[in-house]
Copies of this chain bind each other. A is one copy, B any other.
Amino acid sequence: MSAPLKVALLGCGTVGSAVLRLLSEQAADLTARIGRPVEVAGVAVRRPDRHPEVPAELLTTDAHTLVTRPDVDLVVEVIGGIEPARTLLLAAMAAGKSVVSANKALLADEGVTLHTAAADAGVDLYYEAAVAGAIPLLRPLRESLAGDQLRRVVGIVNGTTNYILSSMAETGAGFGEALAEATEAGYAEADPTADVDGFDAAAKAAILASLAFHSAVHASDVYREGISAVSATDVARAAEIGCTVKLLAICERVPSSTGSPTHPTGDSIAVRVHPAMIPTSHPLAAVNGAFNAVFVEAEAAGQLMFYGQGAGGEPTASAVLGDLVAVARNRVSGVAGPNATGYAALPTRPMAETPTRYHVSLDVADKPGVLATVAQEFAAQGVSIATVRQDGHGDAATLVIVTHSAPDAALAATVERLRGMAAVRGVTSVLRVEGLA
């Protein structure tokens, strides 16, 4: 057996300590699978005194020296956040180390910079754990589906919001109550902004879109709405039309035939995160609690779904180790694996021009002609109506409308006009709808 491959670990929280444990427990199997043993060269942490489980001689606070040490082959980064992770990984790659990262924020913001650095240095950059935890997803997108043309990637990629929405659907609770319950149960952070406002999902959407469409997509290119405005009424309305509410990360290739004033020629991509109603018959509808799932539509492969645990120390560590084995095998063979490329360079279409469908529930006066007046507002914005349900009660009525696909701005403008109409007493629920035939 040849000399061991040496790994530098940056960060030793929940994921990092699970990585260390698995590296030791699975040592014999990893050696057989890689062809050489793997040895931990050092573990960079901020407070060495907080890690009594790690052999003292491995701990260091000097991450920069660790990642550039001549004997280190591979760097595993599970610190999270932009800095110092960015600087450390760039230094590691410049020094010829291959990198495994679980850092979605960094990859979403600085993916192009990091991939360029990896290509320049001829090293690997893998980050399966950055999206949907343990679910093997990025490698299948990058590699297994490399001979196909992707149409859409639609994911439930944030466990906290999925837990909250699942519990709203089960109990009829409002958002505030469900969030409080999730916080108590340990499924939401003390400051839940990153999850609840969709920042976490948007970072993952940017990574998915970049890989799926071979184009550079940054977190700032992603349209983002969180779930804090989702009401118990929205959830109830969804159930009435055979749907359930999910926070979806949607990455689509939109054909040039779907007119875009901003990108009049060629296909473009639309990347967005927002709550949406999906039919209960859709494979994603059954994904409850803290589970994640990603639904993929490709030209030839058709519909695919990947399902599993999206977070947690052990599942995330499984994804990190899978990458570590791949990167280590490449190192043993003296090559770098396929790098992600932005060769297609498709432009990102603004949300206003992205085709979506809306569900709108209105309280209206129960008078003849109201439906006609309302329908006229949709028509005036060029929005075609798919279904209407009208339920009278006393002198009022409820109108439940689902539209066909139209540019998001036209739908939003229609809703604004409805709010101003004399015949409309209130717009009680507005949510986008996905996955309807």
- Taking Cβ atoms with an 8 Å cutoff, the residues of A that contact B are 18, 22, 26, 29-30, 32-33, 128, 134-136, 139-140, 143-149, 214, 283, 286, 298-309, 312, 314-315, 317-326, 329, 333-336, 338, 341, 343-344
Inter-chain CA distance A209–B139, complex, in Å, is 21
Complex: chain B residue closest to A283, CB-CB: B307
Question: How far apart are the CA atoms of A336 and B338 in the complex, in Å?
Answer: 13
Residue of B with least CB distance to A313: B300
Q: How far is the CA of A386 from the CA of B303 in the complex (A)?
A: 38
User: Quick one: which of B26, B286, B333 contacts A286, CB cutoff 8 A?
Assistant: B286
CB of A134 within 8 A of CB of B329, answer: no
> Nearest chain B CB to A133's CB is how many angstroms away?
8
A32 vs B344: C-alpha distance when bound (angstroms): 8
Interface contact A33-B145, CB-CB below 8 Å: no
B341 contacts A144, CB within 8 Å? no
Whether the pair A148, B308 counts as a contact (CB closer than 8 A) is no
Please give the distance in Å from A434's CB to the nearest CB on chain B.
18
A344 CB contacts on chain B under 8 angstroms: 29, 32
- The minimal Cβ–Cβ distance linking A374 to chain B, given in whole angstroms, is 37
Q: Out of B33, B139, B326, which one reaches A214, CB within 8 Å?
A: B33
Do A314 and B302 touch (CB < 8 A)? yes
Find out whether the CB atom of B318 lies under 8 angstroms from the CB atom of A309.
no
Asked if A143 and B139 make an inter-chain contact with CB atoms under 8 angstroms apart, the answer reads yes
Pairwise interchain contact B145-A304, C-beta atoms closer than 8 A: no
A/B interface sample: 5 pairs, CB < 8 A: A33-B338, A140-B140, A147-B324, A304-B309, A305-B307
Question: Which one of B140, B324, B333 lies within 8 Å of A139 (CB-CB)?
Answer: B140
- When distances are taken between beta carbons in the complex, the residues of chain B under 8 Å from A144 are 128, 136, 139-140, 319, 322
B286 touches A325 (CB 8 A): no
CB distance from A132 to the nearest CB of B (A): 10
Name the one of B134, B283, B299, B343 contacting A302, with C-beta atoms under 8 angstroms: B134
Q: Is the CB of B318 within 8 A of A134?
A: no
A302 nearest in chain B by CB position: B309
Most B CB within 10 A of own CB, among A30, A128, A134, A144: A144
- Tell me if B321 and A148 are in contact (CB < 8 A): yes
Assess the A148–B302 pair: CB atoms within 8 A.
Answer: no
Contact between chains at B341 and A318 (CB < 8 Å): no
Complex: how many Å from CA A304 to CA B326?
20
**Is B301's CB under 8 angstroms from A315's CB?**
yes
- In the bound assembly, the distance between CA atoms of A286 and B280 in angstroms comes to 12
- Nearest chain-B residue to A31 (Cβ)? B343
Min CB–CB distance A66 → chain B (angstroms): 21
| CA A140 to CA B136, docked complex, whole Å | 6
**Across the A-B interface, the 9 shortest Cβ-Cβ residue pairs:** A147-B321, A136-B144, A136-B140, A134-B301, A300-B318, A301-B318, A304-B308, A146-B325, A305-B307
Closest to A336 in B: B333
Q: Nearest chain-B residue to A147 (Cβ)?
A: B321
Q: With A139-B140, A146-B33 given, is the CB distance from A301 to B283 under 8 Å?
A: no
Chain B residues in 8 Å Cβ range of A148: 22, 26, 318, 321-322
